[in-house]
């Protein structure tokens, strides 16, 4: 390596700005020279191509075919600021991950360019390559310097890992100039829609990753069961639950796929309860909605509603069974050709029948199912399911006719998640129902003939769930 004076090229100086104020190193030329010398070269890493590469090039070809004649730019995105000069853990855009196969180790600010101007598509991945140890960025930039944040891969390593041409991010501006800055990004609705719809049917690699995410999440639920007694002793027991799951998410995967909902007692009625600062009390239910995101960035999305002391009370069991019946009705009819809207209607009929059976509806079941009325929806305002994959609400930019109104196809992965929520202050239900919320959420894969419950190893039936809790509780 060169013993020349430390390079301070204008590019890395610009990129250095965000982190420049954290470095307290001397700035004398003598110090810069000293720091820039005496380092061994990074040993060349031997890289095994990612199994995703079997699929990613075809995905990029599909984008190229849909946007023929254009240059498509898919940005991984910058690191998001949490506050001042601190950042959230980095997570690239899902479309970028899908089209490159690069997951949690993506170098922030990377950009995928799919050049479809000519018959032959040229895909190039621009990334901030490893910096020379003779650059000031290396040790004096706390935001991106490898002395601070760890070694970045070389262009060759990423090219091998992802089977794609790589270029230095330093050359990206010049590339944009060379195409007169004529390109489309995800801000273009047609592109956002297309790459979202490209993920509706999962391939073999993706399904394998979903299975891993589910297995890791189930471990997380087991860890939670083992921590219930501890949670009951803590004034913010929900935090004990949340962090028990998180420990597995970090140990087994990359992160959580979304903020954990650890909702004990009446908090279960708050659909997105993520404050998680309440107590976990004997005799109440714990609604835990949590999923592990793997290094590949595929996530699970699982909910179980657990009796905190290990046994459902009569009324808890009654409500739980109603939700389970709604879910099972969907399981029984889900298969290729069925629409999401049909599945929702199936779940809603069960919910209407149950709430009618308890005497909560002002009229008949049919009356409530009338689109104008929907009285039963008071107790289940959310949807019955959604696509799942790289995003917890995957394919969210797909056209409605391609998602809710589309027919199920083998390879789709989605959730089945009916629930019932009786708020503490709901005067339309008897007192014994108030403050109870139940959701059961499974992740399923559409097969040729029906669906496979990917989360089926986590018990759902009342007796099985009680036995599972006895087995895993400390
Ligand atoms: N965890 C969010 C959802 O179930 O959709
Ligand atoms: Mn969900
Ligand atoms: Mn969920």
- Do 140 and 220 reside in the same domain of the chain? no
221 occurs within a structural domain: yes
Given the CA of residue 257, which atom of ligand 1 is nearest to it? 1
- For the chain, give the number of residues: 474
Cα dist. 7→18, 32, 37, 148 in Å? Answer: 18, 9, 12, 18
8 occurs within a structural domain: no
pLDDT tens, N- to C-terminus, the chain (474 residues):
333 334 443 334 334 455 556 667 788 889 888 988 999 988 888 899 999 999 999 999 999 999 999 999 999 999 999 999 899 999 999 999 999 999 999 999 999 999 999 999 999 999 999 888 888 888 888 888 888 889 899 999 999 999 999 999 999 999 999 999 999 999 999 999 999 999 999 999 999 999 999 999 999 999 999 999 999 999 999 999 999 999 999 999 999 999 999 999 999 999 999 999 999 999 999 999 999 999 999 999 999 999 999 999 999 999 999 999 999 999 999 999 999 999 999 999 999 999 999 999 999 999 999 999 999 999 999 999 999 999 999 999 999 888 778 899 999 999 999 999 999 999 999 999 999 999 999 999 999 999 999 999 999 999 999 999 999 986
Nearest alpha carbon, ligand 1 atom 4: 301
CATH number for the domain that contains residue 359: 3.90.230.10
117 occurs within a structural domain: yes
Q: Collapsing DSSP states into helix, strand and coil, what is residue 22?
A: coil
241 occurs within a structural domain: yes
36 occurs within a structural domain: no
Question: Which residues place a Cβ less than 5 A from the ion ligand 3?
Answer: 289, 301, 441
- Do 193 and 214 reside in the same domain of the chain? no
Report pTM: 0.94
Round to whole Å and give the CA distance between 297 and 102.
Answer: 9
Round to whole Å and give the CA distance between 128 and 471.
Answer: 49
Query: Ligand 1 pocket, 255 CB below 6 A?
Result: no
- Do 277 and 190 reside in the same domain of the chain? no
- Do 137 and 209 reside in the same domain of the chain? no
Whether the Cβ atoms of residue 106 and residue 164 lie closer than 8 Å to each other: no
Which structural domain range is residue 190 located in?
53-197
47 occurs within a structural domain: no
CB neighbourhood size of 81 (10 A): 11
No. of helices (H) and no. of strands (E), the chain: 16, 16
Given the CA of residue 441, which atom of ligand 1 is nearest to it? 4
Domain stop point among 175, 197, 219 = 197
- Do 153 and 227 reside in the same domain of the chain? no
- Do 230 and 126 reside in the same domain of the chain? no
- Do 261 and 324 reside in the same domain of the chain? yes
Given the CA of residue 382, which atom of ligand 1 is nearest to it? 5
Number of domains the chain contains:
2
Ligand 1 centre distance from Cα of residue 82 (Å): 23
- Do 269 and 314 reside in the same domain of the chain? yes
462 occurs within a structural domain: yes
Round to whole Å and give the CA distance between 45 and 189.
Answer: 39
Domain stop point among 178, 197, 216 = 197
pLDDT of residue 8: 42
- Do 213 and 351 reside in the same domain of the chain? yes
Ligand 3 centre distance from Cα of residue 419 (Å): 11
pLDDT of residue 19: 58
Ligand 1 centre distance from Cα of residue 7 (Å): 49
pLDDT of residue 21: 60
- Do 230 and 328 reside in the same domain of the chain? yes
406 occurs within a structural domain: yes
pLDDT of residue 20: 58
- Do 112 and 251 reside in the same domain of the chain? no
Structure token pair of residue 229: 């007694």
Domain stop point among 135, 166, 197 = 197
CB neighbourhood size of 350 (10 A): 21
- Do 172 and 263 reside in the same domain of the chain? no
CATH number for the domain that contains residue 101: 3.40.350.10
Ligand 1 centre distance from Cα of residue 103 (Å): 22
């Amino acid at each position: 390596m060169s013993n020349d004076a430390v390079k301070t090229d204008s590019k890395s100086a610009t990129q250095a700005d965000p982190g420049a104020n954290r470095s307290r190193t001397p700035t004398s030329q003598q110090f810069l020279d000293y720091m820039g010398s005496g380092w061994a070269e990074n040993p060349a890493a031997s890289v095994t191509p990612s199994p995703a590469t079997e699929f990613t090039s075809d995905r990029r070809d599909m984008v190229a075919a849909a946007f023929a004649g254009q240059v498509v730019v898919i940005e991984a995105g910058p690191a998001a600021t949490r506050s001042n000069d601190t950042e959230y853990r980095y997570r690239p855009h899902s479309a970028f991950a899908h089209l490159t196969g690069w997951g949690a180790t993506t170098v922030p600010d990377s950009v995928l360019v799919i050049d479809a101007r000519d018959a032959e598509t040229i895909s190039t991945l621009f990334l901030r390559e490893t910096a020379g140890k003779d650059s000031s960025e290396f040790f004096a930039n706390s935001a991106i310097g490898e002395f601070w944040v760890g070694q970045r891969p070389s262009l060759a390593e990423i090219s091998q890992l992802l089977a794609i041409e790589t270029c230095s991010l330093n050359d990206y501006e010049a590339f944009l100039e060379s195409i007169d800055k004529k390109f489309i990004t995800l801000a273009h609705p047609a592109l956002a829609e297309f790459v979202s719809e490209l993920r509706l049917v999962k391939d073999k690699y993706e399904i394998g990753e979903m299975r891993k995410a589910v297995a890791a999440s189930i471990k997380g639920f087991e860890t939670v069961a083992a921590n219930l007694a501890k949670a009951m002793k803590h004034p913010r027991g929900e935090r004990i639950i949340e962090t028990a799951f998180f420990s597995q998410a970090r140990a087994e995967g990359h992160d959580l796929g979304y903020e954990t909902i650890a909702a004990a007692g009446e908090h279960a009625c708050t659909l997105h309860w993520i404050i998680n600062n309440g107590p976990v009390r004997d005799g109440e239910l714990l609604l835990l909605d949590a999923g592990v995101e793997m290094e590949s960035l595929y996530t699970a999305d699982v909910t179980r509603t657990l009796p905190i002391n290990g046994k459902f009370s009569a009324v808890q069991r009654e409500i739980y069974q109603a939700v389970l019946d709604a879910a099972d009705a969907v399981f029984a009819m889900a298969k290729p050709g069925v629409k999401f809207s049909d599945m929702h209607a199936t779940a809603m009929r069960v919910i209407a029948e149950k709430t009618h059976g308890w005497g909560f509806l002002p009229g008949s079941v049919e009356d409530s199912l009338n689109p104008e009325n929907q009285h039963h929806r008071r107790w289940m305002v959310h949807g019955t399911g959604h696509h799942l994959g790289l995003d917890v609400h995957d394919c969210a930019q797909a056209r409605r006719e391609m998602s809710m109104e589309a027919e199920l196809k083998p390879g789709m992965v989605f959730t089945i998640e009916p629930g019932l929520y009786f708020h503490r202050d709901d005067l339309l239900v008897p007192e014994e129902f108030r403050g109870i919320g139940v959701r059961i959420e499974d992740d399923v894969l559409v097969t040729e003939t029906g669906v496979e419950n990917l989360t089926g190893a986590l018990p759902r039936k009342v007796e099985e769930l009680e036995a599972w809790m006895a087995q895993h509780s400390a």
